[in-house]
Each structure stands twice: as C-alpha cells, then as structure tokens.
Amino acid sequence: MTAQPHRDDERIRIREAMDRLLAEKPTNSDGSLTVKALAAEAGVHRMALMKRHADLKNHFYERVRNETSQVPESERELRKTVTQLRKTIKNQNAEIEELRQQVTRLSLASAVLIQAKEAPPQSLHEASNVSPLRPRRR
C-alpha cells in the first residue's frame, strides 16, 4: 500500500521538474528538453517515467511543443529516420525498375539466341533480300 504515495510523490516531482525545465531553470540536469533530462531533474529513473508515468512524459512533450515551439528530440530523430527510409525506398524502387528492364533485355537476347540456334544456317548469298557489298571473287 506504500506504492501509491510513492507514485504520487514521483508525479509531483515530475510536474515540478517540467516547470523548471520549461522555465530554463534546471537544478539537477543539463536543462535539455528530453525525457532523460526530465527524469534526472525529477530524480526518478528514466524507465519509471517511460512506463509508470507515460502520460506525464507525453504531457511534457506536448508542453515542449506548445510553449517553446521546439520539436522534441525523439520526434526529430523519428523525422530523420523517416527521411532516410524514404531515400532508401526511392533508391530501391529505382534499382527494381533497372532490374526489370535488365530482365526484359536478357529475355529478348535469350529468345534471339534460341531462335538463331534452332534456325537452319543460311548463307548470306542464298538469301533473296541480301546484296553483297563486294562482288564475289571466283
């Protein structure tokens, strides 16, 4: 039953830490607007903040966004990752298209080779639509 007062005390310390960080008056952290700094400022373990007090963590990020017009570090990292993934997808799509074209070219080349192998050999002089460039020497 002692867990509830402990959690209430943690929640109070987290809210006070939020206020100090947003007022740029940190006492126990580097003052950055991150969950790590919030946990240090409040004197709670970061995982406790992430698990037991996720609502306060989300509230902190909302306040950071609204009161400072800054994007939280986690969101910046996610945006960076999304940008990298989009670039990767674009490159992979271009590679897939190139490979598709190569498959088409190779299929055509294979068909030509198969047809040439199966067709009876034909002399250039025997073909009716071929004219030699030089007269035949006899």
Model confidence pLDDT, tens digit, residues 78-89: 889 999 999 999
Evaluate whether residue 124 is within a structural domain. Answer: no
User: Does 66 lie in the same domain as 91?
Assistant: no
Domain residues for the domain of 36 are 7-70
Which of 4-13, 31-40, 86-95 shows the lowest per-residue confidence on average (mean pLDDT)?
Answer: 4-13
Give dist(CA 69, CA 72) in Å, integer: 9
Task: Dihedral sign for Cα 67, 69, 75, 76, please.
Answer: negative
Average pLDDT, stretch 123-129? Answer: 59
In-domain check, residue 114: no
- Domain membership of residue 20 (yes or no) is yes
pLDDT tier for residue 122 given thresholds of 50, 70 and 90: low
> Are 91 and 52 part of one and the same domain?
no
Do 26 and 51 lie in a common domain? yes
Written as six digits, the tokens of 54 are: 């996720």
Asked whether residue 113 is assigned to any structural domain, the reply reads no
**In Å, what is the CA distance from 38 to each residue of 14, 41, 48, 66, 135?**
7, 5, 11, 17, 94
Q: Give the Å distances, CA to CA, from 2 to 5, 9, 44, 53.
A: 6, 11, 17, 17
Domain count, the chain: 2
- The pLDDT of residue 40: 93
pTM of the model: 0.51
